[in-house]
Structure 1
Amino acid sequence: MQLSSISHLLLLLPIVLCVLPCLTSLTSPQDVSALKALKSAISPASIPPWSCLASWDFAAADPCSLPRRTHFVCGLACSPDSTRVTQLTLDPVGYSGQLTPLLSQLTALLTLDLADNYFSGPIPASIGSIASLQSLTLRSNSFSGPIPAAVTTLNLLESVDLSRNRLEGGIPKGLDSMLNLRRLDLSYNKLTGSVPKLPPNLLELAVRANSLTGPLAKSAFERAAQLEVVDLGENSLGGTMEAWFFQLPAIQQVNLANNSLTRVVVPRGSGKNAVGQLVAVDLGFNEIEGEVPANFAGFPSLSALSLRYNKLRGRIPLEYSRKKSLRRLFLDGNYLIGKPPAGFFGGGAAVAAGSLGDNCLDGCPGSSQSSEVCKQAYGGRKPRS
């Protein structure tokens, strides 16, 4: 080979050697900037040496470069062409700090999961700029302030979990415009006000242990035709629980225990307008008056019912003892009279577990209300058995 040819090849060699590293450093500069800002906003003392964030070394590697043996080993995922960050899922090791508004630069992000850490401060309103976001999980942190209204503009969101924080204010209006939202969990915060209009494709609603007030409004649920699970326990909801609630087309599990409900109206669960989906209902620890609703027995799939510690009177409906699907029944802590159906919690009865204690029943030694309490409940008269 001539000397000129060798020299020509040597000139090409740096270009050839550059191909591989050049191709593995493709992450969008705006994504790199957002990731740097996120790490900078987190207290260095809260980043364990074995954690995902500890492996984020922007000077040593590109975030989306492959393989990730020593740098950016976890905490994020990228698009197939390694140009955009599509998932940000930090490990639950106790990171503390505040979220940077620059997260909005991750415009290809599908999943944001920072659960089980110690992030504090407000949720940045700029999060509403991540139009691609499908899953938002900030569960079990210390976020405070209101839920940004901008969240309701994220039309691709399917799941939102902001539970176990310190969020205040009302649930943002505009949820009904989130057509892809399937699961919403705002439990264990400090939210106030009422339940707003819900989106049409929502499957699960959980706003447990907040400070919601007022009666449940039919207008809030009228479009929620796919709603299966409702957990609004441990709030201050009051008034009447109307029949329309139990007629929601897909409703299966209902928990409104530990509220201030005063009345419940249960429709017939059989016949022309039967829904037949109801599986479990917990209305315990309210202030519900009247007789035990016998119509609950008409729902063919009902297996668990709790009406414990209310102000119910009268007798236990015989329909409950005949219902084959009912496996758990709690009626304790009321003012029920008469004798429980024979063999109610054993033998050939359908009910397998539960409690009837702290009532005015006959034949429940050691577990009934005192005669004086029963007399007071029935206007000073001894209740007739």
Structure 2
Amino acid sequence: MKGLRYCIYVLTAAIHCYMLLVAAQTTHPSEVSALISIKGSLIDNMKHLNDWKWGDPCTSHWTGVFCNISDADGYLHVRELRFMNKNLSGSLSPELGQLSHLRILNFMWNNLTGSIPKEIGSITTLKLLLLNGNQLSGSLADELGNLSNLNRFQIDQNEISGEIPKSFANLKKIRHIHFNNNSLSGQIPHELSNLSTILHLLLDNNNLSGYLPPEFSVLADLAILQLDNNNFSGSEIPASYGNLSSLLKLSVRNCSLQGSIPDFSRIANLSYLDLSWNQLSGSIPQNKLSNNMTTIILSHNRLNGSIPKSFSLLPSLQKLSLENNFLNGSISTDIWQNKIFNTTSRLVIDLRNNSVSNISGAFEPPVNVTLRFQSNPICSSTSIRNIGKYCGPDFGADDDDPSYSTNPSGVCPIHACPTDNYYEYVPASPKPCFCASPLRIGYRLKSPSISYFDPLQAIIRVLCD
């Protein structure tokens, strides 16, 4: 009898081992079913998913499917779906929620429509949710706030509407929220101040309104806060934002903000500040900003008073844009004289349409410095040598140095280049009025931004008899 029980035990163990061996070579059945449904919701005109017809998803290496084995049940589980830039259309299937071991969901740069399924909120293992560059619409489901392990929530450049759910305050491990370039509306939830791990909060180019939450000042790790092109009419920039000790970039451009500019001098590594196209008033804070400061854009406001002398103490400054304000007094030449220029560095100072009446110091700007003074009393001065050079119409545009224009007016006919393939004049060509189709390269730049790129000029000449 004991021998029979022993045999049964051994047989049971053998069967169990066999089942584990079989499981180790197959994807969990529920995930296979989910993948089939996911494909059924997609339109794959380029046939990238043609191999999703035979074999096991994991062992047959279906396109875009990446797996690992679970010690708990011995099955292979889908840990990543990678479909970046596959020209996919259609919609996201609710069955995505059945991929309970998924860590990365990547559908960036496709043509997906429809809404983001609320079922994705049940994938508590998810770390990267990457859906930017599609045509997704609808509102954000409260359930997405259940993604407790999410590190990056990236849905920029879609058509998402509605309010930002307060439940997103539960994303306790989130580092990046990229919600820019959508149609989100309503007020920014102050509950987001609970996101103690957040590094990048990008909400620019939406329809947000209300006030800027002063509670954000507690976000000790926040490096980039970008809120451009929303409508916070009547709101002020909270003075508490001056306590954002890790901030590298603050951009709140064109948001109908009022009030004064806070003192940001306590932020040790701040390098980019853009508060332009608002209704800010009062004087510019005089305290010295970070030595890392490269870009200060305060144009198109109602600022008055003098230009801070502390701007002369910023060794990394590349752009100082103060045009279209009510600034007066003088500007110190120390702003550029105290800089050490190399062969590629540049400094652009734009003071157009103010009331600046004098320059203090020897006025001998180096070739690396671009000055724009027109529509200031200083342009009428007869005591400042060569001031007219910096008051002429050629400096009225917001572009970089006009010497890099692709259409040298007055030399070549304006419409002589072929319109197909976007032909342009090549100013550096030894052959006059030489037309070429430029090699165009798209850049997706990560913040913080760079004010100036040294131009890369590549000329391909084809000489024909």
Shorter-chain TM-score above 0.5 = yes
Aligned with residue 212 of structure 1, among 208, 222, 229: 208
Aligned with residue 75 of structure 1, among 46, 58, 64: 64
SS in 1 for 2:259: strand
Aligned with residue 184 of structure 1, among 164, 177, 181: 177
After superposition, where does 1:47-126 map in structure 2 within 5 Å? 47-49=45-47, 51=48, 53-57=49-53, 60-66=54-60, 68=61, 72=62, 74-80=63-69, 83-126=76-119
SS in 2 for 1:338: strand
2:342 is equivalent to residue 347 of structure 1? no
Letter of the 1:215 counterpart: Y
Q: Which residue of 2 aligns with 1:128?
A: 121
CA distance in 2, matches of 1:368, 1:333: 9
Letter of the 1:258 counterpart: N
Unaligned runs of 5+ in 1: 1-17, 372-385
Change (3 A) 1:358 1:349: farther
Q: Which residue of 1 aligns with 2:419?
A: none
Conserved in 2, the CA contact under 8 Å of 1:188 and 1:209?
Answer: yes
Conserved in 2, the CA contact under 8 Å of 1:47 and 1:54?
Answer: no
SS in 2 for 1:339: strand
Query: Which structure is higher in RCO with an 8 Å CA cutoff and minimum separation 6?
Result: 1
Letter of the 2:105 counterpart: L
2:242 is equivalent to residue 253 of structure 1? no
Letter of the 2:348 counterpart: A
After superposition, where does 1:316-331 map in structure 2 within 5 Å? 316-331=307-322
CA distance in 1, matches of 2:168, 2:22: 44
My pick for the range that moved more, 246-255 or 323-332, is: 323-332
Q: C-alpha deviations, 1:291-326, integer Å up to 9, x for none?
A: 12223x244433321101111112212221233343
How far off is 1:103 after superposition? 1.0
SS in 2 for 1:103: helix
Q: Which residue of 2 aligns with 1:30?
A: 30
Q: C-alpha deviations, 1:63-110, integer Å up to 9, x for none?
A: 0115x4xxx1x3110014661111011131221111111111100100
SS in 1 for 2:165: coil
Q: Which residue of 2 aligns with 1:310?
A: 301
2:368 is equivalent to residue 361 of structure 1? no
CA distance in 1, matches of 2:168, 2:376: 46
Aligned with residue 188 of structure 2, among 195, 201, 206: 195
SS in 2 for 1:54: coil
Q: Which residue of 2 aligns with 1:284?
A: 276
Q: Which residue of 2 aligns with 1:230?
A: 225
SS in 2 for 1:254: strand
CA distance in 2, matches of 1:249, 1:356: 30
How far off is 1:370 after superposition? 8.8
Conserved in 1, the CA contact under 8 Å of 2:85 and 2:109?
Answer: yes
Conserved in 2, the CA contact under 8 Å of 1:247 and 1:267?
Answer: no
Change (3 A) 1:278 1:96: same
How far off is 1:366 after superposition? 6.6
Conserved in 2, the CA contact under 8 Å of 1:48 and 1:54?
Answer: no
CA distance in 1, matches of 2:128, 2:339: 45
Change (3 A) 1:246 1:294: same
CA distance in 2, matches of 1:111, 1:205: 20
Change (3 A) 1:223 1:151: farther
Q: Which residue of 1 aligns with 2:39?
A: 39
Change (3 A) 1:313 1:62: same
How far off is 1:55 after superposition? 2.3
Letter of the 2:149 counterpart: L
Unaligned runs of 5+ in 2: 1-17, 341-345, 359-370, 379-465
CA distance in 2, matches of 1:365, 1:111: 49
After superposition, where does 1:289-300 map in structure 2 within 5 Å? 289-295=281-287, 297-300=288-291
TM-score by length of 2: 0.67
Q: C-alpha deviations, 1:169-195, integer Å up to 9, x for none?
A: 111102222110010000000001122
Q: Which residue of 2 aligns with 1:333?
A: 324
Q: Cα RMSD over matched residues?
A: 2.5
Change (3 A) 1:87 1:268: closer
